[in-house]
């Protein structure tokens, strides 16, 4: 009953004229920024901070929260239409979203992304409403051993990201790990793999690698294959899903809403890990895993649902514990402190208008986002009708502006070109880019968690087996790695049996 009473208090704030106006502005700005490769929710929220000066803290947070989950909504557009993920949360969407666009099914891919985002966000908000105090206790119980085991689980599923050679997937992941270690070692302060270049001391930004491996590699492929007869990619296709397609994605959306929310609750995990784990788990559960990566609607629904559910889940540690769950919520935490509000266990009692106002605004914001996005899909999809030379030019311009706009460093543009060449070469020799990206994203966090765990235990690895949660994750990791090996052995035995029978 306390939750319902609090929610009614929140709706009084969110349904005021000022509240509705700033929720609408937030989600609209967030959606537009999310669609532009190179910009993301952190940039958008940072830009909004000066605007919030003089506002009441409740309205200010409504605006920033709207930008946050609006950007998560909009990020799917550039991933599906251009194969250019501007933020890490939308990388997994490219795996099946772009192949669907190439097949003339961009409309369905964007519709599934919008519907999955709406349902995932809504389910996550309902869970946030009633379970925030309980889940905050679980979130704070996650220490370095649990985080390391969780990252290990994500990495052992690498073989699922490629339908080809498992060895190639592991090599690709190893290279991703290597690039993740570039920069100053956080524990010892020692420069690693910088080769005396001061521009590499801060490491390599994710955006450079993502746009290089996906967007620029795609541009190189389009240029070199320009004389080949291509599929008519300008056909947007119908937005309507058949009953069979609705049934196909319904279970996916339901499962990944829950998974995404739970991952989002963990401080530091965020939408990126949620989207990758959602994609991997859905591929493992599918009766036809070979369809993933070639244009599966479930492959779009899973990451889009999970990353939006995680966006709402990230507010649990922020509001309940004062711990930011991602870079975006860290910026919001700073903005709230500047406004004189300290998020934490006392927030719900001292500032119920802020705590419940944000939660209530999410219900409204999700509805506004669905109303905004579905009718705009035909117009957004028209980017595919742009002539190929102009489209190639636009992708290159977006990549350059996106990378240079983050650091204002020309060296980063050289890195962008380098990763574009690497991505194209990987395509030529059939090395998957997805394991590279996942290992790069998880590498730094995994190394830090491992070091912290061994420091706590004085170098003993028993710390990973004495924690029940970490032990469960490690067992799942072992099974995740073992099952594909068993499947390959069985497949080879069947093939040998069929050959011997034929002989």
Dist CA 66 CA 366 (whole Å): 9
**pLDDT-derived band at 1, boundaries 50, 70, 90:** very low
Q: Are 421 and 213 in contact (CB under 8 A)?
A: no
Whether 88 has a pLDDT exceeding 80, the answer reads no
**pLDDT-derived band at 484, boundaries 50, 70, 90:** low
What is the predicted pLDDT for the residue at 325? 62
Dist CA 37 CA 84 (whole Å): 6
Q: Which of 92-101, 217-226, 484-493 has the lowest average pLDDT?
A: 484-493
**pLDDT-derived band at 231, boundaries 50, 70, 90:** very low
% of the chain with per-residue pLDDT over 90:
4
Encoding tokens for residue 383?
């980017």
Whether 307 has a pLDDT exceeding 80, the answer reads yes
Average per-residue pLDDT in the chain?
80
Q: Are 306 and 278 in contact (CB under 8 A)?
A: yes
Give the torsion through C-alpha atoms of 256, 261, 266, 272, to 10 deg. Answer: 50
Whether 233 has a pLDDT exceeding 60, the answer reads no
Helix (H, G, I), strand (E, B) or coil at 12: helix
What is the predicted pLDDT for the residue at 108? 86
Dist CA 464 CA 223 (whole Å): 49
> Strand pairing partners for 183?
192
Q: Are 261 and 123 in contact (CB under 8 A)?
A: yes
What is the predicted pLDDT for the residue at 38? 58
> Strand pairing partners for 191?
184
Range with top average pLDDT, 72-86, 221-235, 281-295, 316-330: 281-295
Give the torsion through C-alpha atoms of 278, 283, 285, 287, to 10 deg. Answer: 150
Dist CA 400 CA 221 (whole Å): 18
Q: Are 393 and 50 in contact (CB under 8 A)?
A: no
Whether 19 has a pLDDT exceeding 70, the answer reads yes
What is the predicted pLDDT for the residue at 139? 64
This prediction's pTM? 0.74
Task: Mark 408-422 as b/e (b = at least 16 C-beta within 10 Å).
Answer: eeeebeebbeebbeb
Of the two residues 480 and 278, the one the predictor is more confident about is: 278
Whether 241 has a pLDDT exceeding 50, the answer reads yes
What is the predicted pLDDT for the residue at 182? 92
């Amino acid at each position: 009953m306390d939750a319902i009473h609090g929610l009614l208090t929140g709706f009084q704030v969110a349904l005021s004229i000022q509240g509705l106006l700033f929720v609408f502005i937030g989600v609209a700005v967030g959606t537009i920024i999310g669609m532009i490769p190179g910009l993301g929710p952190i940039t958008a929220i940072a830009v909004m901070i000066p605007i919030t000066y003089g506002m009441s803290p409740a309205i200010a947070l409504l605006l920033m929260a709207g930008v946050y989950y609006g950007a998560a909504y909009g990020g799917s557009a550039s991933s599906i239409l251009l194969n250019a993920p501007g933020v890490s949360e939308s990388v997994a969407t490219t795996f099946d979203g772009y192949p669907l666009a190439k097949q003339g099914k961009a409309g369905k891919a964007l519709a599934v992304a919008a519907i999955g985002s709406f349902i995932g966000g809504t389910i996550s908000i309902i869970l946030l409403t009633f379970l925030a105090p309980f889940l905050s206790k679980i979130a704070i119980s996650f220490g370095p051993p649990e985080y390391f085991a969780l990252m290990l689980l994500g990495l052992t599923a690498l073989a699922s990201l490629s339908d080809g050679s498992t060895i190639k997937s592991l090599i690709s992941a190893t290279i991703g790990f290597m690039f993740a270690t570039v920069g100053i070692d956080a524990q010892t302060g020692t420069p690693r793999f910088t080769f005396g270049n001061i521009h590499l001391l801060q490491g390599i930004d994710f955006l450079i690698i993502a746009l290089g491996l996906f967007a620029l590699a795609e541009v190189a492929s389009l240029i070199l294959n320009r004389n080949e007869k291509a599929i008519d990619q300008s056909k947007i296709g119908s937005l309507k899903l058949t009953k069979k397609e609705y049934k196909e994605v319904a279970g996916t959306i339901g499962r990944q809403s829950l998974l995404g929310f739970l991952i989002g609750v963990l401080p530091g995990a965020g939408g990126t890990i949620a989207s990758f784990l959602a994609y991997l788990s859905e591929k493992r559960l599918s009766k036809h895993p070979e369809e993933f990566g070639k244009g599966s609607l479930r492959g779009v629904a899973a990451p889009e649902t999970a990353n939006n559910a995680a966006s709402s889940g990230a507010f649990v540690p922020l509001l309940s514990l004062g711990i930011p769950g991602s870079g975006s919520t860290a910026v919001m935490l700073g903005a709230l402190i500047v406004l004189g509000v300290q998020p934490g266990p006392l927030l719900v009692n001292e500032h119920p208008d802020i705590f419940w106002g944000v939660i209530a605004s999410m219900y409204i914001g999700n509805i506004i986002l669905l109303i905004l996005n579905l009718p705009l899909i035909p117009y957004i999809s028209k980017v595919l009708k742009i002539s190929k030379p102009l489209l190639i030019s636009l992708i290159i311009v977006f990549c350059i502006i996106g990378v240079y706009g983050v650091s204002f460093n020309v060296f980063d543009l050289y890195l962008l070109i380098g990763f574009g060449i690497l991505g194209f070469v990987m395509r030529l020799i059939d090395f998957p880019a997805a394991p590279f990206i996942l290992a790069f994203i998880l590498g730094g966090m995994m190394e830090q968690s491992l070091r912290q765990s061994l420091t706590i235990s004085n170098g003993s690895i028993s710390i990973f087996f004495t924690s029940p949660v970490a032990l469960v994750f490690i067992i799942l990791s072992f099974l995740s790695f073992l099952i594909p090996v068993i499947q390959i052995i069985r497949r080879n035995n069947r093939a040998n049996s069929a050959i011997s029978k034929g002989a």
